[in-house]
Amino acid sequence: MEIRVETNATFLRDGDDLHVTLSVPMTAAALGTTVHLDTYDGDQELVIKPGTQSGEILTLRGLGVTHLRNQGRGDLRVHLNVETPRNVDHQQEELLRKLAELRNEEYTDGQLASSGSGVFARLRERLGNR
């Protein structure tokens, strides 16, 4: 018997796990929020904690694909994409500059992440497991 799995525009399947990307505004990621996701199991609440970073993965246990030969299901892994505004008006720019000043981030050179963390490490880890 051959089973063919159709692709989905929203969810990507990896074994019994499903992956989805969720974009949130930077303010929601900084302050925290609760979002509602439309999943195969209906509406699910996802709590985004204050300070969430772009690239973080939140897991909803048991909301993936049913295991083929035994009980249980995979997980739904939500990849967060924190959106930075492209166009800000004068008032928004002033507020962002004030926030940067309060956080002592007016002039930053940035910091390189160690090779054991960040997007490339996760990508390298993921590709190495195949």
Q: Read off the CATH number of the domain in which 58 is found.
A: 2.60.260.20
What pLDDT is stored for residue 70 in this prediction?
85
In a domain, 58, yes or no: yes
- The pLDDT tens digits for 36-94 are 999 989 999 999 999 999 999 999 999 999 888 888 999 999 999 999 999 999 999 99
| Measured distance CA(16)–CA(99) in Å, rounded | 43
Instruction: Report which DSSP code applies to 35.
Output: E
Q: Note whether residue 68 is domain-resident.
A: yes
Measured between alpha carbons, how far is 60 from 22 in angstroms, rounded to an integer? 13
Which of the residue ranges 11-15, 27-31, 72-76 would you say has the lowest mean pLDDT? 11-15
Q: Which residues contact 30 (CB under 8 A, 6 or more apart)?
A: 50, 51
The domain tally of the chain equals: 1
Residue 57 falls within a domain, yes or no? yes
Residue range 109-128, pLDDT digits in tens: 777 777 666 665 666 666 66
Q: How many residues does the chain have?
A: 130
Q: Specify the amino acid at residue 83.
A: E
**H helices present in the chain, as ranges:** 26-31, 90-102, 119-128
CA distances 46 to 42, 63, 105, Å, are 13, 12, 30
pLDDT > 80? residue 7: no
CA angle 70, 71, 72 (to 5 degrees): 125
Tokens of 77: 């892994």
Residue 112 belongs to what domain range? 12-128
In a domain, 1, yes or no: no
